[in-house]
Amino acid sequence: MSETPTFRVRGLDFYYGRARALSKINMDVAPRKVTALIGPSGCGKSTFLRCLNRMNDTIPGARLEGQIQLDGEDIYSPDYDVTELRKRVGMVFQKPNPFPQSVYDNVAFGPRVLRLYRSRADLDKIVEKSLRAVVLWEEVKGDLRANALGFSLGQQQRLCIARVLAVKPEVILFDEPTSALDPIATSHVEDLIAELKQKYTIIIVTHNIQQAARVSDFTGLFWLGELIEFSATDTLFTRPVNELTEAYLTGRMG
């Protein structure tokens, strides 16, 4: 990796109480690339993803050992600003979760909370720019006051991505973002990810091996809490080093 990694993860162990969910994870995440995390259910992919913006902090008994650096700073140091972290590292979840509010208010939520605008005109521009970025503006511009829950699941998921973009993050975490969507909506989100990586570092958890092959530049295979193999996607899919990786990719395991 020629550029300085956005995330540098070293010796990461993660525990839920006494149960160890992740063991000795080491990974460098390249800037403005898509990194896919694959593996069977319960292998630690989503747990690892939530470590990157400290969403696991709210779970009683959760504990992390090791280090995660974002642009060279340890995000688990006692004086690190978690609110700032979650502004810089946005997250899109498995099921679309728009607020039961208007399209406009959904996208404007983060900028309002974080006071990222000076005037209503500024906020209007942020909302429009975010909706255009997810190719949703033309579909909703006629009725920005419509309740977001009235839209299709695919539109809702793109709206949730727009909500993340509105606070100007550096990284976007996607946790199974298309698992609830039909093939057409899935294709729209995958195309969107390809566009977004021009500006953002993207990490996506997916059960869909074909999706990882389509959208990612780097891929890591998780298995029972360990990172079995991590490399450029083309290399991992065509010349895996680990026998377990080959067995998983060919469907013999997992």
49-65 average pLDDT score: 95
Residue 96: per-residue pLDDT: 94
Buried b (16+ CB within 10 A) or exposed e, 207-246: ebbebbbbbbebbbbbbebbbbbbbbbeebbeebeeebbb
Look up the pTM and report it. Answer: 0.94
Report residue 3's pLDDT band, with 50, 70 and 90 as the boundaries.
Answer: confident
Percent of the chain with pLDDT over 90: 95
User: For the chain, which domains are there?
Assistant: 7-96+172-249 (3.40.50.300)
Buried b (16+ CB within 10 A) or exposed e, 118-148: eeeeebeebbeebbebbebbeebeeebeeeb
User: Average per-residue pLDDT in the chain?
Assistant: 95
Rounded alpha-carbon distances, angstroms, from residue 167 to 98, 107, 123, 127, 247: 16, 9, 11, 10, 41
80-92 average pLDDT score: 95
**In the block, which residue shows the tokens 């993860």?**
9
Percent helix, percent strand, percent coil in the chain, to nearest 5: 40, 25, 35
209-237 average pLDDT score: 97
24-37 average pLDDT score: 98
Residue 29: per-residue pLDDT: 98
Report residue 254's pLDDT band, with 50, 70 and 90 as the boundaries.
Answer: low
37-48 average pLDDT score: 95
91-110 average pLDDT score: 96
User: What secondary structure letter does DSSP report for 71?
Assistant: T
Residue 9: per-residue pLDDT: 98
pLDDT at residue 1 greater than cutoff 60: no
68-88 average pLDDT score: 96
User: What secondary structure letter does DSSP report for 4?
Assistant: P
pLDDT at residue 77 greater than cutoff 60: yes
Residue 252: per-residue pLDDT: 84
pLDDT at residue 253 greater than cutoff 80: no
pLDDT at residue 250 greater than cutoff 80: yes
Angle between helical axes of 183-196 and 153-165 (0-180°, round to 10):
20
pLDDT at residue 2 greater than cutoff 80: no
